[in-house]
Structure 1
Amino acid sequence: MHRPPAAAAEVAEELAAVRPALLPRYTAELPGARAAVLTRLWRALAHEPLPWVTGRVHGAHSLALRLADGRTLYGPPADPYATSAYVTGVRLDRERQVDPAELVAALAVPHAEAFAAELADSVASLALSRADADHSKEWPAGVPPTEVRWRDWEWEQRVTDGHPFHPNCRSRPGFSVAEQLAFGPEHRPVVELGTVPVPARECLVSGDWPAELRDGERLLVPVHPWQAAHVLKRACDPWRPARPLLSLRTLALPDGRHVKTALSARLTSSVRDISAYSVQAAEPLTALAEEVAARTDGLLHITRTLGAVSAGSPDLAALLRESPEVYAGPGERVVPVAALAATDLPKTPGWPAAFARLALTVGLRLLDLGVALEAHGQNLLVILAADGTPVRLVYRDLADIRVSPARLARHGIALPRLTGRLVTDDETALRRKLFGSLVAGALAGTAGSGPALGAALSAVVADLPDTADLCALREGPLPAKALTLMRLSPHTPGDQWMSLPNPLVLEPGPSDQ
């Protein structure tokens, strides 16, 4: 059997050289990190349409997966919405497996070797993130929101575990231990951004590129130091210190603005860059999003893209956005949904339902208008009152929403100058975009389990406008990205999907898929 690279040992060796005091905590965190990644992997094996899983047999306290090669994989029932690390081991025929990378290697399915290496990296990076965690979970009652320690980047740096459902939740291939410590938001670094001068005639610009990033006939493009060293392979002129946010390549500047940099590394699933298409669409998307947000009775704010530039390559581009903090009123806090689980909110018994009502009211209203948000826990932020009550939403990063010309037209909204992948009237695609990110992502990650998610939804769906979209949510299975299938299908472009049990019902399927 091929064994995956010993990523945990390699990280330990590097850590001993660059931060030896952290090594004991890293070693102690490894078993929990393995269970966290194995739990995410087991969810994928139990629910995704993997071609080599030929049957699923549900018992009262177990789940058996029949494999195409005749073997059987045994484990606990798989709650597709659970965020706790409840799977500490599974059994492949008679062999117990506790390491997700070694399990995938033992399965020996197509493309397993590369995926196993990513899982090994995810486990090691997750253990490193948890080992260096030093974040208070305290809700800052009575602390003025203008104080530095409660700025937006502080909330974002509380999140140690990354994506709540992706086995590659912390996979950062191409990053050394020193680079993870220097650039990962959970390690609380200050990153020194640079700029690269490019002749203005060679650049594509959208919006208002600021004077401070202009030098005569040249534009200055902000560059992440990792990108400069590994992709551009050139020195950059010093520009600004910044604090990395959840996405790692987006950082908060001292004046409050956010800068999204091109960082051509594979983080979680995709290689990240900023395409000319995204730059060109930035200004019209911002205008459209503000127009539809204005029809939500003040429940949604959109962070405006102030300016965007591409210097002839997706590896050298940047966007400037306003901070979500500008939409907070006196005593309010703006918190990414992904950070809610890392914060001890003073939640009332009805808090999950209140949040679900707010999120679904906004999401379904925009979907009806013709805009499907990718409202996962990183893009969606909630404005909380001083007592923790959810009052409004903020959405950022419009680069992967979907826009329906037909739905916009029904509401008298003109389609802006948009073409390409963002534009579709396919109702399945529109609903997948919203439901897969908001319900199977943000709401599920906040609820923490299928029963809790179902209870929150049950408390609010009867009060929502009875549209065809709500009917699809209420009566059909819930779409979610098949993240493991996508990693095991490197030659299949685009998203792939799975159907999860409806959280309003949550009955397991029959004995076979």
Structure 2
Amino acid sequence: MTSLALDSPAAVAEEASLAALLRCCVREVAGPRGQVWHAEPYVLLRVADTLLRVRTHGGLALRFQGPPEWLERGSWQPLSADLLVRLVETELGGANEEFADQVSMSRGAMTALLAVRRDALPPADPWLASEQGLVFGHPFHPSPKARGGADWLRYAPEAHASFRLRLLGVRHDVLAEAGDTGPLDDLGTAPRGYSLLPAHPWQLDLLAAELAAPLADGRLIDLGHGSHAAVPTSSVRTVYEPRIDRCLKFSLDVRITNCVRKNSWYELAGAVELTRRLEPVFRELSADFPGTRWLPEPGYRSAGLGTRLLEGLGVIIRTSPWSVCRPGVTPLLSGALAVPGELPAEPLRWWRAYVERVALPVLDAYLTHGVVLEPHLQNVLIGVDAAGLPVEAVFRDMEGTKLVAGRHDLSGVPDRVAEALTYDPAGGWNRVLYCLMVNHLTEIAASLAGPGSTRELWAVVQEVLAGYADARGWPQPLSDLLAGAPLPAKANLSVRWARSADRFAEYVPVANPLAVLS
């Protein structure tokens, strides 16, 4: 381990990087090979014929207490992230020359973010402050803060960045849009014959070569910068624009964790189509589960200048959370709540309210309406009242929301758009279980329990879900879940090792925290 002070950015980043990679090893490398053992207070695992150990708590979330170690000639030594990378490479066959660089890049990004945050002021808006609090990223990802591009720090939400958008004019004969795009026109003034198109300044730099010709011949014009600073949210490419009280989801042709983040042409069309179809669904969900909210994506705008620029300049308009939460309710990113902090005064009451707000509409969306929400920690906002009690859950991001194939009439929808809008029933249920149970509730429960047991918290989950199952006649998927069937966990290390697209990520089975209660 480093000799730097324990609170130095480099040391903290090393600790976080090591912890994330070690969790992946337990879940995806040693676990499936039968090379993980529990010997309280340690978890032991073997990677590349090397025995490792670490003190744990938090159940399935695998929170670590104290430094991980490896056994060398009969003596336990501190484990480093670089050594663990070498062990993983040996265990998996050493066939990915990018892997070590990605882990190193992620650790370097954390170091830079921690250093900048020492002097940067967070937004005064509590929702935006929560969006910008995810310094360490996904706890089960080998390179959670890997980020391409040279200028990423200028636009990083974790660095408390804010910046003015660039404004383009799109000549009407090459304008591409659908749905309600009117709010974009309030960002500035476009000359006659043009429509206003906001653009992420980082993306414009990345597209400079492709933009040269349409800017030269007048199909596009550069209108300078917007008048207000936009604030990047947790996904990096989605920003909040205060002048129009909307979130704007841009393309960014850089890799962020697993994916190059862009709005594919079929996703632009799909966001508007899905918003139209989900409106009556969420109306029913809100009636059955008071406090259920969502953020529609009613329109997109771009320039019809070939697929590259159509996608690269495409912007999806998203409703802001402040406009859907009722007065007196403050939206907060669930991912920020998964970071250990102060416990609520009545943790079990808080937890029951949380589970009821988040879990029940997600399950009912699938079982009753054939809709797969993607309620991972970055896609859910929790609306808390003045006392901090969860009273609303806000679901967002149409890219991850899908329709269950065979339960919706998609005739008339272009084939590629329809394909991107659907999951088969089994795939949809796996996505729901992973996002809700493994990614979301497990992490919040671990933060709520601290170093203590999560058993009492999972007993509350069991009671809430059993009550819902009883009211719905105990459908088979819920019966299996409550009986303790293993849960699917997304294999982030495996997909990075294979250098596959994120959509091809597989799942590995993990223990269901409800099993010990059955």
Relative to the length of structure 1, the TM-score reads: 0.81
Measure the CA separation in 1 of the matches of 2:62 and 2:121.
18
Partner secondary structure for residue 383 of structure 1: strand
Paired position in structure 1 for 2:488: 479
Whether 1:243 and 2:231 are equivalent positions in the alignment is yes
Residues 101 and 56 (structure 1 numbering): CA distance in 2 closer, same or farther, change over 3 Å? Answer: same
Partner secondary structure for residue 126 of structure 1: helix
1:123–1:170 CA contact under 8 A, matched in 2: yes
For residue 100 of structure 1, the aligned residue among 78, 81, 94 is 81
Whether 1:340 and 2:309 are equivalent positions in the alignment is no
Question: Deviation digits for residues 143-200 of structure 1, max 9, x if unmatched?
Answer: xxxxx82353233123322223323222223245xx41x2111222221211344444
Structure 1: runs of 5+ lacking an equivalent? 1-7, 9-23, 139-147, 508-513
1:189-208 map, 5 Å: 189-208=161-180
2:106–2:147 CA contact under 8 A, matched in 1: yes
Residues 27 and 76 (structure 1 numbering): CA distance in 2 closer, same or farther, change over 3 Å? Answer: closer
1:288–1:416 CA contact under 8 A, matched in 2: no
Displacement of 1:337 in angstroms is 0.6
Displacement of 1:218 in angstroms is 3.7
Paired position in structure 1 for 2:22: 42
Question: Deviation digits for residues 331-373 of structure 1, max 9, x if unmatched?
Answer: 2101111122456464423212221122111111101111111
Residues 136 and 292 (structure 1 numbering): CA distance in 2 closer, same or farther, change over 3 Å? Answer: farther
Paired position in structure 1 for 2:199: 223
Paired position in structure 2 for 1:362: 361
Residues 505 and 486 (structure 1 numbering): CA distance in 2 closer, same or farther, change over 3 Å? Answer: same
Structure 2: runs of 5+ lacking an equivalent? 213-221
Measure the CA separation in 2 of the matches of 1:479 and 1:50.
16
Measure the CA separation in 1 of the matches of 2:293 and 2:511.
32
Question: Deviation digits for residues 378-417 of structure 1, max 9, x if unmatched?
Answer: 11111111111111211111112221144458xxxx8883
**Match for 2:136: what amino acid?**
D
2:54–2:64 CA contact under 8 A, matched in 1: no
For residue 126 of structure 1, the aligned residue among 89, 110, 132 is 110
Whether 1:321 and 2:300 are equivalent positions in the alignment is no
Identity of aligned residues (%): 26
Displacement of 1:222 in angstroms is 2.2
Measure the CA separation in 1 of the matches of 2:150 and 2:516.
39
Displacement of 1:225 in angstroms is 1.8
Question: Deviation digits for residues 487-507 of structure 1, max 9, x if unmatched?
Answer: 001146622111111011369
Relative to the length of structure 2, the TM-score reads: 0.80
Bigger mean CA deviation after superposition, 384-393 or 312-321: 312-321
1:129-168 map, 5 Å: 129-133=113-117, 149-150=124-125, 152-168=127-143
Residues 217 and 439 (structure 1 numbering): CA distance in 2 closer, same or farther, change over 3 Å? Answer: farther
Measure the CA separation in 2 of the matches of 1:66 and 1:258.
45
Paired position in structure 2 for 1:262: 251
Paired position in structure 1 for 2:158: 186
Question: Deviation digits for residues 466-495 of structure 1, max 9, x if unmatched?
Answer: 322322322311112101111001146622
1:34–1:123 CA contact under 8 A, matched in 2: yes
1:55–1:66 CA contact under 8 A, matched in 2: no
Question: Deviation digits for residues 64-100 of structure 1, max 9, x if unmatched?
Answer: 5455x6x234223766633644363342765956332
Displacement of 1:101 in angstroms is 3.6
Aligned residues: CA RMSD:
3.3
Measure the CA separation in 2 of the matches of 1:338 and 1:416.
37
2:270–2:421 CA contact under 8 A, matched in 1: no
Paired position in structure 2 for 1:431: 429
Residues 165 and 107 (structure 1 numbering): CA distance in 2 closer, same or farther, change over 3 Å? Answer: closer
Residues 83 and 352 (structure 1 numbering): CA distance in 2 closer, same or farther, change over 3 Å? Answer: farther
1:274-313 map, 5 Å: 274-296=263-285, 297=287, 298-311=290-303, 312-313=307-308
Residues 80 and 422 (structure 1 numbering): CA distance in 2 closer, same or farther, change over 3 Å? Answer: farther
2:177–2:301 CA contact under 8 A, matched in 1: yes
User: How many matched pairs?
Assistant: 466
Whether 1:505 and 2:515 are equivalent positions in the alignment is yes
